[in-house]
Amino acid sequence: MNETSTRNQFYSYIEQTWTVTEEELNELKDKPQLSCIVSEEKDVVGISETKYFLKLQIARESVDKNGFFLYLRFSRPENSSKIRAKYSIFVKSENYSTQFDNIFYPEKTTGWGDEICPVEKFFERSFISDGKCIIEIKGILIFEEINEMPKIVMESAVLSRALWEKDEKDFKIEVENEENVMVHKNVISARSAYFEGMLKSGMKEEITNSVKIIDFNLKTVKTAIEFFYDRNIFESLNFDDAFDLLQFADKYQIIDLQDKLELYFIYQLSPSTVCKLSNGSIYSNSIKLRQICFGFLMICSKHSIPVENLQNLDKDFAAELFLKNFSPFD
């Protein structure tokens, strides 16, 4: 059963590094009140037509008193749901960090943030290093009013369906101590760089039209083959099976399956699942998922968000997290 079925909130992790040049900052300080520059827009994973970005604005209280203000902003449809955002902003060169816990209402909230520093002091301190100011944001967005939880959708083409139903499959996968599974040689070559190389190498597998797999079970192999034919494998996938499949995708270089599985896990990220996903990312050798889980846990720690099953977290991962947690500008 899919683990998202018991959840009533959707969590999306955000992270961006924005480099602002000293030239851009000097131009901004000489512009009129409320002039601004903005970062690149980034997609909010799992929420369609919703993007986030940073806005650096100059605001003046008087002729000789002004400041740089930094805001988190969203670009999204008018009828979208409110967003609870817990986020931290860093400028490491100045050892500057600040935290926010805000609610963004689509009909009335333009952005949340605060003054970084008065303009005259900004240029005197260490906000600028080597001609640039590097601003980082990391955070968690919480959605409670979305109509449907995000999910992976497979588009099955007519050709894929026809090939799946045909019996003339010409390549055999022998799963040790279980049974054999048949697949089209052209299909497995097209979906896996590993098998493509094997079947063009003159190795015995090319000659016998068969391969033996000893380190994955029959269920994992069959599910991978279903994916090769664009079958919807995600409806009934559970975490344990998905991690086995992700490990299979990593070993056999099935890039699109790896991408979709990582997105499947990211859609299910929450304080109740993050420890299991962290451990699974290590087991399945997913660097991308590991990095996202690590960042998610850091934000949970900084914003006092309770996390389930911390005692089960991989010991090396937990030790690294502990050290980073006491370095506020990492």
Cα gap 107→124, rounded to integer Å: 39
Does residue 192 share a domain with residue 122? no
- How is residue 251 written in tokens? 């070993």
Strand partners, 11: 142
Q: Is residue 12 part of a domain?
A: yes
Does residue 319 share a domain with residue 250? no
Structural domain total, the chain? 3
Last residue of a domain, one of 120, 143, 166: 143
Q: Which domain holds residue 280?
A: 269-325
Summarize pLDDT for 8-24 with one digit per residue, the tens. Answer: 789 999 999 999 999 99
Q: Is residue 303 part of a domain?
A: yes
Does residue 136 share a domain with residue 41? yes
In the DSSP assignment, the letter for residue 32 is: P
Does residue 118 share a domain with residue 138? yes
Q: Is residue 186 part of a domain?
A: yes
Does residue 82 share a domain with residue 102? yes
Q: Is residue 152 part of a domain?
A: no
Does residue 104 share a domain with residue 204? no
CATH at residue 65: 2.60.210.10
- How is residue 259 written in tokens? 């991408």
pLDDT for residue 4 is more than 70: no
Summarize pLDDT for 97-120 with one digit per residue, the tens. Answer: 999 999 999 877 778 999 999 998
Task: Provide φ and ψ at 18, rounded to 5°.
Answer: -120, 120
Last residue of a domain, one of 86, 118, 143: 143
Q: Which amino acid is at 290?
A: R
Q: Is residue 190 part of a domain?
A: yes
- Maximum separation of any 2 CA atoms in the chain, in Å: 82
Last residue of a domain, one of 220, 249, 265: 265
209 backbone φψ class: left, alpha, beta (φ>0; ψ -120 to 50): left
**What is the pLDDT, as a whole number, of residue 227?**
95
**What is the pLDDT, as a whole number, of residue 330?**
58
Q: Is residue 60 part of a domain?
A: yes
Does residue 57 share a domain with residue 11? yes
Query: What value does the mean pLDDT of the chain take?
Result: 91
Q: Is residue 64 part of a domain?
A: yes
Three-class secondary structure assignment of 54-109: EEEEEEEEECCEEEEEEEEEEECCCCCCCEEEEEEEEEHHHCEEEEEEEEECCCCC
**What is the pLDDT, as a whole number, of residue 50?**
94
pLDDT for residue 267 is more than 60: yes
pLDDT for residue 2 is more than 70: no
Does residue 116 share a domain with residue 191? no
CATH at residue 229: 3.30.710.10
**What is the pLDDT, as a whole number, of residue 6?**
46
Does residue 120 share a domain with residue 17? yes
**What is the pLDDT, as a whole number, of residue 7?**
58
Does residue 226 share a domain with residue 164? yes
Does residue 136 share a domain with residue 53? yes
Does residue 317 share a domain with residue 186? no
- Percent of the chain surpassing pLDDT 90: 75
Instruction: Give which of 1, 7, 88, 42 is closest to 270, Cα–Cα.
Output: 7
Q: Is residue 330 part of a domain?
A: no
Summarize pLDDT for 203-250 with one digit per residue, the tens. Answer: 898 899 999 999 999 999 999 999 999 999 998 899 999 999 999 999
Instruction: Give which of 296, 307, 1, 7 is closest to 149, Cα–Cα.
Output: 7
Cα gap 113→73, rounded to integer Å: 9
